[in-house]
Structure 1
Amino acid sequence: MTFRHTIGCGLVIASAICAALAPAAADQEQGRRLAQFYCARCHAIDRVNPSPLRIAPPFRTLHERYPVEMLQEALAEGIITGHPTMPQFSFDADQVGDFMLFLKSLERGQAVR
């Protein structure tokens, strides 16, 4: 094996290890699917429709009420609310990233359909 070949193989292996260890990029579509599964029963998760449950704020307006970044910790630790109709759930770190990317897209008007 030549020196160049050895260095080349080492670089390929190092790149593969770095790629495997790097955090996954947030996925807006996966965030939308999470919102659909966990939230759409009560909240509007799109840019136009009203929330099915009138008292549940549409996700597109959450940023008008408070910084949505404040939800990250609650999503990871488990959302607990003072009303019984909202289910308790928690997301793993990747799901939090996906969900937050989706919420932020609603602010910008770029939500996936």
Structure 2
Amino acid sequence: MVACAGGSSAWAQDGLQIAHGKKLVEANCARCHAIGPAGKSTHPDAPPFRLLHLRYPIEDLEEALAEGISTGHPDMPEFVADPQQIGAIVAYIRSLSR
């Protein structure tokens, strides 16, 4: 019974992290990128987030976000995230490829 309760808590935590990541990408990325499970990016050089795992390992985003992504598409604004935000963004992007 305790294992089930702990598992349930972990699922809830994952859900909160994914929801936080979604809010972050809505605020910072949705202007150019398709950030959901469907749709086309509004910027021709901005890949849809649901396809990022096909281009490179999602773990590589952690370092890029920590250092400040400044080279995505040519006119992409620089975006720097703190460790908590990075974890949430990566969790959200991973959730799209499930």
Please give the range of the TM-score, normalised by the shorter of the 2 chains: 0.7 to 0.9
CA RMSD of aligned residues (A): 1.5
Larger radius of gyration: 1
Preserved contact between residue 45 and residue 73 of structure 2 (Cα < 8 Å): no
In structure 2, what residue type is equivalent to 1:46?
G
Identity %: 50
* Aligned counterpart for 1:89 among listed residues 61, 64, 79: 79
Q: Secondary structure at the match of 1:98?
A: helix
TM-score using structure 2 length? 0.79
How far 1:83 sits from its partner (Å)? Answer: 4.7
Q: What is the correspondence of 1:62-73 to structure 2 with a 5 Å cutoff?
A: 62-73=52-63
Preserved contact between residue 37 and residue 96 of structure 2 (Cα < 8 Å): yes
**Which blocks of at least 5 consecutive residues in structure 1 are unaligned?**
1-24, 109-113
> Measured at CA, do residues 92 and 104 of structure 1 come closer, stay the same or move farther in structure 2, by a change above 3 Å?
same
Corresponding pairs, count: 84
**Which blocks of at least 5 consecutive residues in structure 2 are unaligned?**
1-12
TM-score using structure 1 length? 0.69
Q: Distance in 2 between matches of 1:70 and 1:82?
A: 13
